[in-house]
A and B are shown apart, each in its own frame.
Chain A
Amino acid sequence: MSTAAAAGAVDTVAAAAITPERPQPFAALGLTAGEYTRIRTLLGRRPTDCELAIYSVMWSEHCSYKSSRAHLRQFADKAPRTDALLAGIGENAGVVDVGHGYAVTFKIESHNHPSYVEPFQGAATGVGGIVRDILAMGARPIAVMDALRFGPAAAPDTARVLPGVVGGISFYGNCLGLPNIGGELAFDPCYSGNPLVNALCLGVMRHEDLRRATATGEGNKVVLFGSGTGPDGIGGASVLASASFGGGESAKRPSVQVGDPFMEKLLIECCLELNAAGLMVGLQDLGAAGISCATSELAAHAGTGMAVRLDEVPLRDPTMSAAEILMSESQERMMAVVKPGDVSEFMAICERWEVPATVVGEVTGTGRLEVSWHGEQVVDIAPETAADQGPVYERPARRPAGQDRLNGDGPQHLTRPATGAELRDTLLALLSSPELADRAWVTEQYDCYVRGETVLAAPHDAGVVRLHEDSGLGVALATDGNGRYCRLDPYAGAQLALAEAYRNVAAAGARPLAVTNCLNFGSPEDPSVMWQFIESVTGLADACATLGVPVTGGNVSFYNQTGERAIHPTPVVGVLGVLADVRRALPSRFTRPGAALVLLGSTAQEFGGSAWAHIVHGHLGGHPPTVRLAAERALAQVLGSAAWDGLLEAAHDLSDGGLAVALAEACLAGGQGCRVSLPGDPFTLLFSESGARMLVAVAPGAEGAFAALCEAGGVPATTLGTVGGPGIEVTGEFSVSLGELAEAHREVLPALFSG
Chain B
Amino acid sequence: MTARVGIVTFPGSLDDGDAARAVRRAGGHPVPLWHGERGLAGVDAVILPGGFSYGDYLRCGAIARFAPIMADLIPAARAGLPVLGICNGFQILCEAHLLPGALTRNSGRRFISRVVRVRIANAGTAWTAGYERGQEVALVLKSGEGAYVAAPATLDALESEGRIVATYTGGNPNGSARAIAGICNEAGNVVGLMPHPEHAIDPLTGPGADGLAFFAGGVRAPVAR
Contacts and interface: CB of A to CB of B under 8 A. Distances in A.
A452 B18 contact: yes
Contacts of A316: none
A167 B111 CA distance: 8
A170 B145 CA distance: 13
Contacts of B113: 174, 443-449
A451 B52 contact: no
Interface in A439-496: 440, 443-455, 466
Contact of A262 (B12, B36, B111, B204): B12
Contacts of A170: 110-111, 144
A353 interface: yes
Contacts of A212: none
Contact of A449 (B21, B110, B206): B206
Chain A contact-residue range equals 20 to 34
Contacts of B108: 754
B11 A174 contact: no
A353 B201 CA distance: 30
A546 to B, nearest CB: 34
Contacts of B206: 449, 452
Interface of B: 11-12, 14-15, 17-18, 21, 36, 50-52, 54-57, 108, 110-114, 140, 142, 144, 196, 198-199, 201-202, 204-206
A174 B206 CA distance: 17
A454 B51 CA distance: 17
A449 B142 contact: yes
A435 interface: no
A90 B202 CA distance: 40
Contacts of A175: 12, 14, 52, 55-56
Given A262-B54, A444-B114, A452 B21 contact: yes
Nearest to A266: B11
Contacts of A352: 36
A583 interface: yes
10 contacts: A174-B144, A262-B11, A262-B12, A447-B113, A449-B142, A450-B142, A451-B17, A452-B21, A455-B204, A466-B204
B205 A452 contact: yes
A193 to B, nearest CB: 25
A711 interface: no
A262 B112 contact: no
B204 A174 contact: no
Interface of A: 167, 170-171, 174-177, 260-263, 265-266, 352-354, 440, 443-455, 466, 582-583, 754
Contacts of A448: 113
A454 B21 CA distance: 14
Contacts of A440: 114
Contact of B15 (A263, A266, A450, A466): A450
Given A262-B11, A352-B36, A452-B206, 7 more contacts: A175-B12, A175-B56, A447-B111, A447-B113, A447-B142, A450-B14, A466-B205
Contacts of A262: 11-12, 52, 54-57
A444 B17 contact: no
A444 B140 contact: no
A754 B109 CA distance: 9
Task: Pick the 4 closest A-B CB pairs, nearest first.
Answer: A262-B55, A177-B14, A452-B18, A449-B199
B18 A265 contact: no
Contacts of B11: 262, 265-266, 353-354
A174 B12 contact: no
B199 A452 contact: yes
Nearest to B202: A452
A455 B199 CA distance: 12
Contacts of A174: 52, 111, 113, 142, 144
Contact of A260 (B14, B55, B114, B196): B55
Contact of B205 (A177, A261, A353, A454): A454
Nearest to A263: B55
A528 B142 CA distance: 46
A451 B18 contact: yes
B92 to A, nearest CB: 15
Residue with the greatest number of chain A CB neighbours at <10 A, chosen from B11, B15, B18, B56: B11
A582 B204 CA distance: 9
A175 B60 CA distance: 12
A700 B217 CA distance: 39
Contacts of A453: 205
Given A445-B110, A452-B18, A452-B205, A265 B12 contact: yes
Contacts of A445: 110-113
**Residue picked from A444, A452, A466, most chain B C-beta under 10 Å:** A452
B138 to A, nearest CB: 12
